[in-house]
Amino acid sequence: MAVITDSVAALTPELILDHELFVARMEITVDGKTIVDTGSSELDEFYSTLASSKDVPTTSAAKPVEYLDRMNSAADIAEGVFCVTVSAKLSAAYDAALLSSDEFSRNNPDHEVRIFDSAAAAGSQALIVLAAARVAKRGGSIDEVETAAKFVARRVRLVAMLDTLRFIHRSGRVPKIAVWATTALNIKPVMEFSADKIRAIARPRSVRKAVDRIRKDMLTDLDGRIAHINVMHAGAPERAEALREWAESNLECAEIFVTQFHPFMGAHTGLGLVGASWWSE
């Protein structure tokens, strides 16, 4: 089996290569410039551009032709294709992948293809993809690959601190008074995204207290267990590195890595975000 995903998973080029993944590219438009997410360093400049931009960035799901191209490439080396998309509730990517799979199946009737809605994004999506890829790399069937993806999808959590609500307000998702109150009180909301559920779980009044809350949740879920962790940040590598070092020192990590929070979500959360996605065996 070969595993395909989209670039919202924000996997590094090294992880993509090591796990033999195929990645359909999203598009991000900011200040009138559209960037195709190829995983290049050009995308790293997004958050510095976002800080000074007066326009609300827009994102576009990977086009059907993107998925079809990846499926055709995968078919050259594998007997089947398992495609993990960003949550269908957040993007049209799932529908685009389904459309592509129909065309692919017509042209490749001897190849299996299955589209899996991760019900997740960013770091959680990445962990689901990597779990599926490990089974595929061992020669697992498409059912075994899907079982691995479902196992992680049911367990994975994403918890992150927002440094500001200004960018969410610009996108029209919170009222202005909430932004003013958050800024005046130095509140750093801690948010959870799990199985299509997005909610605030704490409103600490400093970055330190917000990170402490993330660590507390990680310990509650992972202490004494074998952990899989993706630490994420939005233009805040120092915060992410500190969280990674803490996790490595305090938890038993089977896998831990750092990724940049993808602009698909980062366009709304803004700079300074730090958090993690995790699941335990």
Sequential pLDDT tens for the chain (281 residues): 999 999 999 999 999 999 999 999 988 887 787 877 766 555 667 777 777 777 777 888 899 999 999 999 999 999 999 999 999 988 899 999 999 999 999 999 999 999 999 999 999 999 999 999 999 999 999 999 999 999 999 999 999 999 877 766 555 554 454 555 556 567 898 988 865 567 888 889 899 999 999 999 999 999 999 999 999 999 899 999 999 999 999 999 999 999 988 888 877 788 899 999 999 99
| Parallel, antiparallel or unpaired: strands 157-161 and 197-202 | unpaired
pTM: 0.91
Rounding to the nearest 10 degrees, give the CA dihedral for residues 131, 132, 133, 137: 110
- End-to-end, the C-alpha distance of the chain in Å comes to 23
Neighbours of 177 (CB within 10 A): 9
Starting at the edge strand found earlier in the chain, the sheet holding 252-260 runs 197-202, 190-194, 157-161, 274-280, 226-233, 252-260
- Whole-number Å distance between alpha carbons of 207 and 58: 28
Contact yes or no for 73/137 (Cβ under 8 A): no
Q: What is the DSSP string of 211-256?
A: HHHHHHHHHHHHTTSEEEEEEEESS-HHHHHHHHHHHHHHSEEEEE
Query: In whole angstroms, what separates CA 203 from the centre of its chain?
Result: 23
Tell which residue, 87, 123, 152, 77, has the closest CA to residue 260: 123
- Whole-number Å distance between alpha carbons of 172 and 199: 17
Domains and CATH numbers, the chain: 2-26+61-154 (3.40.50.10440), 157-280 (3.30.1180.10)
